[in-house]
């Protein structure tokens, strides 16, 4: 009988000895692999755990009936996170756009900008159409005419009404700020002053006169346009502008280092942001039961657009799995869910999309700041649903012209929507004014905005990220095509010693005859 460790010719089999050693070595290898995976995804795991812990913390403390002062103290760690994220928005947006615009030539900049604007406007228009369709199918305002806005506690929190024309004029005014320093923390807005005219006995005529004011908030539109133009101007300067371009590049890299440090505080801040917001709401059951159909229609629109339409658009352009791309963006998506701010999510989005998904820095730092300003797919969805909801609440049947006005106004007004919590509610007032509906019922939207705004922000930043991924793919594809064309040109150089091996369809230009080729031709002629 043969021994199991020997072959038939008496030699020891190497595999028999190798199997126990390999089996013994698999354990440490697997442990090292799991440890490496945990270290790589540690921030993602902590962020998701922070969201879940915040929900549990808020649910546990709701029965304690905390005072407003204690709720504010509970939200303090989350407030610190928001302040840190907003602190780096200004240098990040300006420096990234200047360096991104300066790193691309004018033709590439115009082409990428055109594709980005077409993508942003197209997806926003699709989102608005989806929202209007869902609102007419679900009919969230049907049977809700008896809602009491005073019971929801936000009847006095209505935004001031503004004419539609003045809203769009303010959008263009903010594109060209008169003072860049002021634009870093204030935005132009039109206010109104009521003046009595033609005062006589028993007859008074009041006139509303628009006046310009400055409100609190960064004028991100003006800063984006200035940074883009400055980057193009520095590129045009040539060697004289290289020093300033290097300065902005270094400033941008230093800002990203600060972002990487802030990211480790995100799980803690998210925990207390979510927990304090759940504790703060007085009667969640009343809100959900009263406005449940509106909340359902808005969130369903976000799920369809963010989970089906946007991934399909990404797949149609790149032929790649969109969900594997989104898997590397869990941290910024969770940050968007907790902070409800596209601008506050921008630092973590730039960091993760470059490190986890390998998007070119020139693309991400050029597109993402613009997308955080002008691309508001999620906001367009809940704005259109809210407009149809208020129309149904007031028993107003919308005609085709009003529906078209809602679509166009929501798509255009989302460009100027502030990337801050509840920034889209102000845009709803523009839509309502455009179709002639009262703005008194906006308090109902404000009452549940803290719920809908979370999925809104997630869809907003998801659209920005997928747009950056599409542009990165198209840019890589164009670069590869150019490299292949160069390789073809190199391979098509004629071989003078053996012309019969080259294609007769290739035109050989500027061929300089060498002495060897001349002598060879003469020898052929002599032979003939």
pLDDT tens-digit readout, 195-211: 777 666 666 777 778 88
On whether the CB atoms of residues 218 and 180 are closer than 8 A, the answer is no
How is residue 252 written in tokens? 């941008």
| Burial degree of 141 (CB within 10 A; 0-12, 13-18, 19+) | buried
Residue 94 φ/ψ, nearest 5 degrees: -65, -50
Strands 203-216, 186-200: pairing kind: antiparallel
For residues 157 and 154, what is the distance between their CA atoms, to the nearest angstrom? 5
Name the residue among 436, 252, 218, 428 with its Cα closest to residue 342: 218
| 177 phi, psi to nearest 5 deg | -65, 145
Q: What is the pLDDT of residue 453?
A: 85
The DSSP result for 136-184, as a single string, is HHH-TTTT-TT--TGGGT-TT-PPPP--HHHHHHHHHHHHS-S-HHHHT
- The CA distance from 447 to 121, in Å, is 29
pLDDT of residue 359: 92
C-alpha distances out from residue 87 to 179, 225, 346, 372, Å: 20, 20, 12, 16
pTM listed for this prediction: 0.73
210 - beta bridge partners? 192
Residues 225 and 276: their CA atoms lie apart, in Å, by 37
Q: What is the pLDDT of residue 416?
A: 58
Instruction: State the pLDDT at residue 284.
Output: 67
Question: H/E element holding 72?
Answer: helix 68-74
Q: Mean pLDDT for each 10-residue chunk of the chain (528 residues)?
A: 46 49 56 68 83 88 85 90 87 87 78 88 92 91 58 48 74 87 86 74 73 82 88 89 91 88 88 86 67 89 95 94 92 88 87 91 88 86 90 85 86 64 67 78 76 89 94 90 68 48 44 50 42
The number of angstroms, rounded, from the C-alpha of 207 to the middle of its chain's C-alpha atoms is: 42
**Residue 13: φ, ψ to 5°:** -75, 130
Q: How far is CA 189 from the centre of its chain?
A: 25
Position of tokens 């700020």?
177
Euclidean distance between CA atoms 351 and 394, whole angstroms: 46
Answer whether 188's CB lies under 8 Å from 217's CB: no
pLDDT score recorded for residue 301: 95
Distance CA(135)–CA(418), nearest Å, equals: 24
The predicted structure's pLDDT at residue 137 = 92
């Amino acid at each position: 009988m043969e021994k199991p460790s020997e072959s038939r010719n008496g030699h020891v089999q190497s595999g028999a000895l190798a199997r126990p050693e390999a089996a013994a070595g698999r354990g440490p290898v697997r442990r090292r692999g799991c440890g490496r995976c945990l270290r790589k995804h540690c921030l993602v795991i902590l962020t998701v755990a922070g969201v879940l812990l915040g929900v549990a913390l808020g649910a546990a403390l709701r029965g304690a009936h905390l005072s407003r002062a204690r709720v504010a103290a509970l939200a303090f760690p989350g407030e610190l996170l928001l302040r840190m994220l907003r602190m780096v928005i200004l240098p990040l947006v300006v420096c990234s756009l200047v360096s991104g615009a300066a790193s691309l030539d004018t033709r590439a900049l115009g082409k990428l900008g055109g594709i980005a604007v077409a993508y942003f406007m197209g997806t926003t228009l699709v989102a608005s159409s989806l929202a209007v369709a869902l609102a007419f199918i679900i009919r969230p305002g049907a049977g809700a005419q008896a809602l009491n806005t005073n019971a929801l506690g936000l009847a006095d929190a209505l935004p001031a009404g503004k004419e539609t024309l003045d809203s769009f004029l303010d959008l263009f005014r903010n594109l060209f700020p008169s003072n860049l320093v002021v634009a870093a923390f204030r935005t132009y807005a039109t206010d109104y002053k009521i003046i009595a005219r033609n005062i006589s006995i028993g007859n008074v005529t009041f006139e509303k006169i628009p006046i310009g004011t400055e409100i609190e908030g960064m004028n991100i539109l003006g800063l984006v346009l200035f940074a883009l133009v400055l980057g193009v101007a520095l590129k045009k300067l040539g060697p004289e502008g290289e020093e300033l371009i290097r300065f902005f590049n270094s400033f941008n890299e230093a800002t990203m280092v600060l972002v990487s440090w802030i990211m480790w505080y995100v799980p803690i801040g998210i925990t207390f942001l979510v927990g304090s917001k759940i504790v703060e709401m007085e009667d969640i059951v009343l809100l959900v039961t009263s406005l449940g159909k509106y909340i359902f229609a808005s969130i369903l629109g976000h799920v369809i657009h963010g989970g089906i339409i946007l991934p399909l658009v990404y797949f149609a352009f790149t032929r790649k799995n969109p969900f594997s791309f989104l898997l590397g963006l869990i941290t910024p998506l969770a940050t968007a869910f907790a902070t409800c701010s596209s601008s506050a999510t921008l630092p973590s989005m730039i960091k993760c999309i470059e490190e986890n998904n390998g998007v070119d820095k020139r693309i991400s730092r050029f597109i993402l700041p613009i997308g955080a300003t002008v691309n508001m797919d999620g906001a367009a969805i809940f704005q259109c649903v809210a407009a149809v909801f208020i129309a149904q609440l007031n028993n107003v049947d919308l005609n085709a012209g009003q529906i078209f006005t809602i679509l166009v106004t929501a798509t255009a007004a989302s460009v100027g929507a502030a990337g801050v919590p509840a920034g889209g509610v102000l845009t709803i007032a523009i839509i309502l004014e455009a179709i002639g509906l009262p703005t008194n019922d906006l308090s109902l939207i404000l009452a549940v905005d803290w719920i809908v705004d979370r999925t809104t922000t997630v869809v907003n930043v998801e659209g920005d990220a997928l747009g950056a991924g599409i542009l990165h793919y198209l840019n890589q594809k164009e670069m590869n095509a150019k490299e292949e064309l160069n390789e073809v040109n190199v391979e098509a150089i004629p071989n003078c010693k053996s012309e019969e091996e080259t294609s007769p369809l290739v035109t050989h230009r500027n061929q300089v005859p060498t002495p060897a080729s001349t002598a060879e031709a003469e020898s052929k002629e002599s032979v003939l």
